[in-house]
Structure 1
Amino acid sequence: MQKDIILSVSVPATSANVGVGFDCLGLAFNLRALFQFREADTLEIAGCPLRFQNDDNLVWQAYTQACDKLGSDPTPKHISIDSPIPFSGGLGSSSACVIAGVACALSESHGGWDPERALDLACRIEGHPDNVAPAIYGGLTSSFVEGGHTVCSRIKIARGFSFVAIAPPYSVQTEDARHIMPTEIPLETAVWQMGRVVAVTTALETGNAGLLATACVDKLHEPYRKKLIPDYEALREAALMARASTFVISGSGAAMIAVCDSPVVAQAVVENAQKVRNDLWIRILNPSLAGTSITCDDGTIHHNTFDEI
């Protein structure tokens, strides 16, 4: 039997890497997934494909793992998922699920919701902070792990940029995307990346589309991962022909992002991409300063935005 809602968790879609910021940069968007938790006699999950409606569900797995790390006992839940984030990968659908499960575990713990604890727990489960950091805090984030603790810096993106998210009707397995990359890189490649990741964050912060176009050229992961996305080259050409500032693989793919300096350019990218194939998931998104928002059963709302941090 289902009980009343005890917790609602709203988590933004995210894009990891932002081109040259492999495993450290991430960006939150104004596309949000909603997770609602009720007490139940047995585990029940609704709102997602049938194959995910079991105890292997990532929300439930994150909840039980977080409970274990917090030293608490998980209890059966009815979990309702309302997510517009595509499952094809690259826009943070798995990170949203992980954060929702972690949020539920924290809300039942003695300390309650805390974004820093949530980030550390989510990183232990997810493996790296590039998606979970912006999903929790909002905005553009740069993160690294030091001594088991995730350190996160937030950058506010200048007004004017539009982000065209494109997801093809197929996915890229994260394991394949990791496996295809080299285990070592030349020193000159490391230098190339370091200079450009600073320039990209500066360009996004100041609204310098020209600098973004020059700097956002990755040599670390995209030359390898693009081979796993059959439509990458055609879609990149379509975006750049529409005068997008840059075109990047979102996370490990298969989603891709065209960064544009105006809504007019963004709409032109959409029209060009639809000519490549007509079954793409395409949305024009804006950066979100709002991270994870939690509404408790007593009406208390916990949330973080860039301006509050």
Structure 2
Amino acid sequence: MIGADGRERPMVIVRVPATSANVGVGFDCLGLALDLTATFLMTPSERLEVVGCEERFRGEDNLVWQSYLDACGRLGTDTVPLHITILSPIPLSGGLGSSSACVIAGVGAAMALSGGGFSRERALELAVAMEGHPDNVAPALLGGLVSSFVDGDLTTSTRMDVAGNLRFVAIAPPYEVRTADARRVLPEEVSRETAVWQMGRCVAMVRALELGDAGLLSSACHDRLHEPYRAKLIPDYETLRSAALEAGACAFFISGSGSTMIAVADGDAAAARVASAFADACPGYWLQTLPANTLGTTVEVH
């Protein structure tokens, strides 16, 4: 790209998939990458410019820009103003990792422009330091289904493939669920019985997603740690859950802390029935049927 001063300037293109944290019973541990990709174009400029997003996100507090500045500080590299173009189909109502995508975009630009190149391992370290947890950024970077845990400053993420027969029907209401509210409604302690219930189903959920086993998914996807409490913050939860299961979905869960919800269907025909049931139950809501994303984040420099 040629700047206004006639000098050639590199363009960094970062593509980041949408993600769904928790995946029902995998509270704060599991995350899933979905085949819905946000694209960020970033080029050194005379001054900061942000286009392609709502006016309220075009200033100095833009999350891509702030993440770029933070990453440069952690990498020990100089910052330059950027022209940032955001092309994102990920809804802002919450639950599909729109903010994590912006964080990763800023990290990707900082690494690409530093001369050291992009490393997913280093990017994960930087993104977790910014976000405070890996549940969205890990699957966004790695693709597939990712299980993560944090020990001090070390994040360990294990990536698994998701069976190709599974489809994820995502529906996003036009209202947000604030993450702070979603955290506030959770109990401080749980019983041993609940812990055992959850651990067994979390392991089964991972295996079911790997195998594409609809029956096992149906048996495993019954959370007791967070969804019974967070469902009360989503007025459409019971309506959409009933519609999905009656239409043949094998599982239904809140995506992240909401307000997006996801039904899992075995194959395209079942997914079409679920999507139709969603559209009838809540017409006009954002609705997409998606496979899992296998690629994760990509960074190119032109």
One-letter amino acid of the counterpart of residue 222, structure 2: V
Residue aligning to 2:163: 158
What are the within-5 Å matches in structure 2 for residues 77-226 of structure 1? 77-226=82-231
CA distance in 2, matches of 1:39, 1:45: 12
The question of whether the paired residues in 2 share the 8 Å contact of 1:169 and 1:279 is answered with: no
Question: CA deviation digits over 1:165-209, x for unaligned, max 9?
Answer: 110111111111111111211111111111110000011111211
What are the within-5 Å matches in structure 2 for residues 36-75 of structure 1? 36-75=41-80
CA distance in 2, matches of 1:270, 1:261: 13
Question: CA deviation digits over 1:258-287, x for unaligned, max 9?
Answer: 001121111111111112221210000001
Using the TM superposition, name which of 178-187 and 159-168 deviates more: 178-187
Match of 2:235 among 230, 233, 236: 230
The question of whether the paired residues in 1 share the 8 Å contact of 2:40 and 2:85 is answered with: yes
The question of whether the paired residues in 2 share the 8 Å contact of 1:5 and 1:36 is answered with: no
Q: How many residues align?
A: 297
Is 2:263 aligned against 1:258? yes
CA distance in 1, matches of 2:100, 2:285: 22
* 1:288 Cα deviation from its structure 2 partner: 1.1
Q: Secondary structure at the match of 1:154?
A: strand
CA distance in 2, matches of 1:222, 1:162: 21
* 1:82 Cα deviation from its structure 2 partner: 0.2
One-letter amino acid of the counterpart of residue 206, structure 2: T
* 1:4 Cα deviation from its structure 2 partner: 4.3
Runs of 4+ residues deviating >3 angstroms: 1-5
Q: Secondary structure at the match of 1:51?
A: helix
* 1:147 Cα deviation from its structure 2 partner: 2.9
Identity, in percent, stands at 57
Q: Which runs of 5+ in 2 are unaligned?
A: none
Q: Secondary structure at the match of 1:290?
A: coil
CA distance in 1, matches of 2:10, 2:56: 24
CA distance in 1, matches of 2:216, 2:93: 30
Residue aligning to 1:271: 276
Q: Secondary structure at the match of 2:15?
A: strand
One-letter amino acid of the counterpart of residue 185, structure 1: V
CA distance in 2, matches of 1:296, 1:152: 27
CA distance in 1, matches of 2:173, 2:9: 38
Question: CA deviation digits over 1:126-165, x for unaligned, max 9?
Answer: 1111111111011111011123121110111112111101
One-letter amino acid of the counterpart of residue 256, structure 1: M
CA distance in 1, matches of 2:10, 2:92: 25
Residue aligning to 1:20: 25
CA distance in 1, matches of 2:11, 2:240: 43
CA distance in 1, matches of 2:224, 2:138: 24
CA distance in 1, matches of 2:163, 2:283: 32
Q: Which runs of 5+ in 1 are unaligned?
A: 298-309
- C-alpha RMSD of the superposition: 1.2
Residue aligning to 1:307: none
